[in-house]
Amino acid sequence: MPELPELEVVKDVLTRRLAGQTVVRVEVAPKGGPIVMRNLTSEGISAQLAGRSLAAMERRGKYLLFLLTPRSASDARLVMAVNPKLTGRLQLCLPQAPKAGPVHLTLHFAGMPEVLRYIDSKRMGQIYLTHDLAQIPTFAEMGPEALAITLEDFRQRLRTFRGEIKGVLTRASFVAGIGNAYADEILWQARLHPYRKRTTLSATDVESLYQAMRHVLHGAIEQVRQQMGDDIHLKPRDFFAVHMRGGEPCPRCGGAISAITANQRLTNFCRSCQPGGLIRGL
């Protein structure tokens, strides 16, 4: 379940390791192929990728974007957009290295022995090949980047969303890059109950939320960078304060961390530090 911090670090690692490299061979596993690979171009996947070089890596929300050079003067730029969702990840390794899970795509490069694999145990993620990012469903509807938005813009946009604050925070159309795990961390940092209705938040609450978002995401990028190294298939999360820590003591007050599963989503929070949320009788 990579979110903004993990993908930001993966982007930096791949920029350092792969920029300028030319794809020479592509393997698509038939099993996951049509589910994982979404080719929005008129050429085949291998034909489309082979011979192109990686010009740059970018991240937008929970998508990693591989910007690939045109192959000739009349050719268009290609983007490989990877959205790992809950179960997908990338692995940069030697071809003989153990697979970190079922491999759906492998890229071989001209100037290095390592390959890049896309692994996805449940085939939930997607890899789009496109000349135009607007072709990717809902891509154009994404809100501003969570670490680029100003407090004023955050306030303005928040007014147009209703419902529980955790749900709003994880909606890409509000701000891009935050998922279930970091929403828990941010709300704990801001001392806001995850099921508080957005309409009950005061101006001070909204500012706390904004500052907590920046603090948690920036801090996580540094933690992940230190712990992940170039092993981009790892998911270092032992620095979390509450997420996945149900029953453990809250790092701030020592009370037991609550765990609630609703709509197949786990929510962890501290009832003492994050009071409220009476709507569901919690």
As measured in angstroms, the least distance from the Cβ of 282 to Zn ion is 15
> Which residue type, as a one-letter code, is found at position 107?
L
Is 222 a residue of the active site? Answer: no
Taking the least distance from each CB to Zn ion, the nearer of 38 and 252 is: 252
Does 190 participate in binding Zn ion (rule CB under 5 A)? no
Does 23 participate in binding Zn ion (rule CB under 5 A)? no
> Which residue type, as a one-letter code, is found at position 19?
A
Is 95 a residue of the active site? Answer: no
What number of chain residues touch Zn ion (CB under 5 A)? 7
Catalytic residue among 3, 6, 8, 114: 3
Is 265 a residue of the active site? Answer: yes
The strand pair at 37-39 and 126-130 is best described as parallel
Alpha carbons 273 and 253: distance in angstroms, whole number: 7
Binding mask 238-277 for Zn ion (x = CB under 5 A): ------------x-xx-x--------------x-xx----
Q: Are 261 and 267 in contact (CB under 8 A)?
A: yes
Binding mask 144-183 for Zn ion (x = CB under 5 A): ----------------------------------------
Provide the b/e sequence for 45-69 (b: ≥16 CB within 10 Å): beebbbebbbeebebbbbbbbbbbe
The residues, ordered by sequence, that sit 6+ positions from 237 with a Cβ below 8 Å of its Cβ are 181, 243, 244
Is 70 a residue of the active site? Answer: no
CA dihedral for 47, 85, 175, 223, sign (positive or negative): negative
Catalytic residue among 11, 60, 62, 245: 62
Task: Write out the residues near Zn ion by the rule CB under 5 A.
Answer: 250, 252-253, 255, 270, 272-273
State the catalytic residues: 2-3, 62, 265
